[in-house]
Structure 1
Amino acid sequence: MKPQYWFRWLSVQGAPRLVLRTQAKRGDLFAELMGGPTGYIDPYPLIERLRGRGRLIRTPISWASFDHELCRAILRDTRFGVLTPESFDVPGPVQKLAKYFPLPPNPVEPPSMLVIDPPEHTQMRKPVASAFTPRAIARLRDRVETVTEELLEALPSGGATDLVTAFSAQVPIAIISEMLGFPEKDKDLFLAWGDQMTPLLDVGISWRTHKRALKSMEVMNSYLDDHIARLRRTPGDDILSTLVSAGELDTYALKATASLLMGAGFETTVNLIGNGVVQLLSHPDQLDRLRTDPELWPNAVEEVLRFDSPVQTTARTALCDVEIGGEKLRRGDTIVLSLAGANRDPGVFADPGRFDVARSNAKDHLSFSSGIHVCLGASLARMEGVYALQALFDRFPDLQLDGTPRRRELFTLHGYERMPVRLGHRAAAPEPTTV
């Protein structure tokens, strides 16, 4: 492993890891929430205890907010920028070494639009946005339905399976692969890379996890070099071919964009579908309501996004001295914004700890962020979630958990890595509607 990777881990992950664990041992609830202890912990009891301390709280690690109004305001406020590795107090020599030996293109380093501000962010986002217009998403609907039905047909009627690997991960990876022009045979590669690289979105991951992520990053970088070169010779009708042909982004930026779309177009939807299955099986009265009134399915997906947020948190850095939420922040101060906390704010959502598929304002959640960094693929994720969940429960009406699902031990992304289920009998596929 290259020495600069170890220095990068030490500055961006190792030092915060030590601080988090030390603070958690001292009883700091926020450090515990962010992953101070090992293993999965239920974040929601900690969130509610921290919420009681105020709308904007100062912790030994950073500022934090669990307030819906304040989180939304900060996400939309141009006085705050995205959090990048450079936002940390990294020693000068380490910063110089990291810049001299850059990481391969990836979703959590510039020029990924996830971690850059205007004007660079605008330049990166604009050419990609056309692939996620309402008209573009509508064109994908038939393909989402076809992929979902093929996967459901392949599940063993009356048998058992791991629903994450056999279904919830397969729907979004098939769609984003097609959008980026990847061969279908390579889907398993993307699943493995996604699983190994997503921990980079957390703070304080172990050296072993970091090293595994960077190895995957290197392999994916080589793959994307070959793929982009192939698209330059024979472009298709996919989004990456369009970006290559436009010539607005260099190869490094193209690879950063592709890796971001792979991650964002995959991980959030996997968690959305998996979380939705568990919540509906845990609340059979709500599932019965959907069977009685299937027009509630889109709202049910919004409630899943609100109640059990696939993305739990994001962060911003003050770009100047600013007063907000009754507190004075200095330039460079970091604020962790709990999207999960905002989504259960009792000032916005009545009885927020109740899962209600008919909740009238469920769509007011912040699970896709807000402001200029709002998720480009939100409409696609919603559409995939609605069709996948409705079709799954229609085709397997007796679906039941077959053991305890295992959560991923991550702070930022909230979902399941394993979900054993007993499928029960397979109902007939619905007849296609005629107009």
Structure 2
Amino acid sequence: MRFDPWNPDFVAHPYPVYEQLRREAPVSYFEPTDQWLVSRHADVNALLRDRRLGRSYLHVAGHEEFGREPEPEFQEPFWRVVRAGMLDVEPPVHTRLRRLVSKAFTPRMVESLRPRVKAIAGSLVEAYVEKGGGDLIAEVAEPLPVTVIAEMLGIPEADRHLLRPWSADICGMYELNPTPEAQHTAVRAAEEFAGYLKVLARERAADPGDDLVSALAAIPELTEDELVGTCVLLLNAGHEATVNVTGNGWWSLFRNPGELARLREDRSLLPTAIEELLRWDTPLQMFERWVLEDIEVDGVAIPRGAEVALLFGSANRDPEVFDDPDRLDVARADNPHISFGAGIHFCLGAPLARIELAESFGALLDRAATLELAEEPRWKPGYVIRGLEALNLTVSG
């Protein structure tokens, strides 16, 4: 098999291909997406921190100068939302936005959420165990982070059912060569979510509550578009990874029953197990960067204007960094995985994701006497954001 992100067999089993890439062509050009694939941990880690690359090039050049076609006009509402958040911009705009958002998203505030996260996870798992199982993703993995982020933002409970579909549709634009239908769906979701948040932000500016939208609305330096872009980013990044780490992680444990038994016997391994599950079957397989100045990687010249595809899933299995990388080890102590990125775009929500994962996995281990696969799961067709369609389990309390 070769690198083929549209092939279901590759999406299900990309790791042998990654091993071949690291060994034979650690930096290689992939014509179908006009990208340079970078597969080794050292290179991926270095490029994430290299300021000669960026998530965007629009702060230094126009589309034409970079040899790129301008985005179609119909996509404008999507990019207006996305580029108002900190993920898709570069300094000095990124620096200003991250500083402002960090004021409202402090480590103390995140840690203060732990009791609430524990209560939500416990309630979801209790209901799941009582009914004897079902789709773990739909009934536990998805509702937990969506409920947490909705409560953080101050989204009224009656509106929360809108969030997950909006997020999933928006994230469809990040897949490689998205279909026209996926593009239009992403644009529509971005428009609807932005419209909803603008109304909510104006309400909270006039009548503040104890929530993140109120806190952001009280920052005069933050524009309305930037507030919207920040909230959209927090929702998308704040739960897509958590959902997929939960599904991928339990599927990983079922494929490695000895490690599941270790975790059941010694709950103190939960923190290292979460990091290992993030590494072993990475939810975000690829992250892209634009080359703003000519660079050389492993002796390969990559010109200004090119796009690099940093293969997180490959980097996290690199034997130069991880001992016996294809082995799942819930006690792995030395684990410098890059599932949350690195450099200035390191995931702001990583501490919250870790809390959600620890409480979710812990609750299920505590309350389910038995956990068995009801059927082998199937992977969603997406490659960049990689997760299962469903994870159907049979559970007893």
TM-score of the aligned structures, taking structure 1 as reference length:
0.84
Q: Which moved more, 1:208-217 or 1:340-349?
A: 208-217
Check the 8 A contact 2:35/2:308 in 1, yes or no: yes
CA spacing shift, 1:84–1:224, aligned 2, 3 Å: farther
Name the CA shift for 1:40/1:58 in 2 (closer, same or farther; >3 Å).
Answer: closer
Once the two structures are superposed, the pairs formed by residues 411-430 of structure 1 within 5 Å of their partners are 411-424=383-396, 426=397
Deviations 1:237-292 (A, max 9, x none): 22221111111111111111111111011101111111111111221211111122
Higher relative contact order (CA 8 A, sep 6+): 2
Asked whether 1:257 is paired with 2:230, we answer yes
1:83 to partner: Cα distance: 4.3
Q: Could you give the per-residue CA deviations for residues 104-134 of structure 1, whole angstroms, max 9, x where no partner exists?
A: 4666x31221111100111111111234433
Task: Tell me how far apart the structure 1 counterparts of residues 304 and 67 of structure 2 sit (CA, whole Å).
Answer: 13
Indicate the residue corresponding to 1:365 in structure 2. Answer: 337
Structure 1: which 5+ residue stretches go unaligned?
Answer: 1-26, 427-435
RMSD (CA atoms): 2.2
What is the SS of the residue equivalent to 1:417? coil
Aligned match of 1:281 in 237, 243, 254?
A: 254
Point out the more displaced range, 229-238 or 129-138: 129-138
TM-score if structure 2 supplies the norm length?
0.92
Q: Which residue of 2 aligns with 1:382?
A: 354
Whether the 8 Å CA contact 1:318–1:332 is kept in 2: the answer is yes
Q: 1:106–1:259: 8 Å Cα contact kept in structure 2?
A: no
Does the Cα contact within 8 Å between 2:129 and 2:368 map onto a contact in 1? no
> 2:76 matched to 1:102?
yes
**Aligned twin of 2:99:** 126
Q: 1:205 aligns with which of 154, 170, 178?
A: 178
| 1:69 alignment partner in structure 2 | 42
Does residue 138 of structure 1 match 2:111?
yes
| Structure 2 partner of 1:90 | 68
Structure 2 Cα separation of the partners of residues 312 and 216 of structure 1: 23
CA contact (8 A) 2:104 2:216 kept: no
In the alignment, which residue of structure 1 is the partner of 2:279? Answer: 306
Aligned residue-pair number: 390
CA distance in 2, matches of 1:104, 1:132: 24
Give 1:3-42 correspondences, 5 Å limit.
29-30=2-3, 32-33=4-5, 35=6, 40-42=11-13
Question: Structure 2 unaligned runs (5+)?
Answer: none
CA contact (8 A) 1:106 1:217 kept: no
Q: Relative to structure 1, is the Cα distance of residues 220 and 84 closer, same or farther in structure 2, using a 3 angstrom cutoff?
A: farther
Q: Which moved more, 1:226-235 or 1:324-333?
A: 324-333
Deviation at 1:322, TM superposition (A): 2.3
- Kept in 2: contact 1:316–1:335 (CA 8 A): yes
1:6 corresponds to which residue? Answer: none
1:323, CA displacement in angstroms?
2.7
- Specify which of 316, 321, 327 is matched with residue 354 of structure 1: 327
User: What is the Cα deviation at residue 38 of structure 1?
Assistant: 9.7
Q: CA deviation at 1:313?
A: 1.0
After superposition, the Cα gap between the structure-2 partners of 1:175 and 1:359, relative to the gap in structure 1 and judged at 3 Å, is same
**2:304 counterpart SS class:** coil
Equivalent residue for 2:196, pick from 217, 220, 223: 223
Structure 1 residues 140, 369: closer, same or farther in 2, change over 3 A? same
Contact 2:129 2:367 in 1 (8 A): no
Deviation at 1:329, TM superposition (A): 2.2
CA distance in structure 2 between the aligned counterparts of 1:190 and 1:84, rounded to whole angstroms? 30
